[in-house]
Amino acid sequence: MSSAPPVAGGTRPAIWPWLLAALLIVVADQFTKAVILANYRYADQTVVTSFFNIVRAHNTGAAFSFLADADGWQRWAFTGIGVAAAVFITWMLKSHAGQTLFSLSMTLILGGAIGNVIDRMMHGYVVDFLDFHWAGRHFPAFNLADSAITLGAVLLVLDELRRMRKPQP
């Protein structure tokens, strides 16, 4: 990846709009989790539709509860990974702020990662509450941070596919 081209006046595009967007994702994520924590006890649920519930779940592991049954070390390992990812993504945003789709994908991943790191630091687990199910099978519960990370990853793949299709100079 090459760095973002300078714009008029010889300056790079600003990173601040991307960081502000990531902050908005963190705020929305933490707000929704606070609502769940204030109104639901662990495992309480509200049926919304035939395929969707609001449920309070705690995930001490990573995606799909990976390592959730470990002895507690995973809290700090995943927190460290999240912090390292946030630093790396911020550096990538600074270097590539003018690449809109790439920066949007990084922003979504950054906001989601920070949202989940905050949970791990405050509670020792990530608060999940979106529960989709079909024919008696439940997809692992997730939250807005997880949604942002997933959407960011999809956009990152699309950005790379788009970049691969461009003729090389």
Average pLDDT over residues 15-32: 97
This model's pTM is above 0.95: no
Residues whose CB falls within 8 Å of the CB of residue 166, separated by 6 or more in sequence, listed in order: none
**Each residue's pLDDT tens digit, 132-141:** 999 999 999 9
Catalytic site positions: 128, 146
**pLDDT score at 79:** 85
Residues whose CB falls within 8 Å of the CB of residue 115, separated by 6 or more in sequence, listed in order: 25, 26, 29, 30, 33, 143, 144, 145, 148
Please report which confidence band the pLDDT of residue 63 belongs to, taking 50, 70 and 90 as the band edges. Answer: low
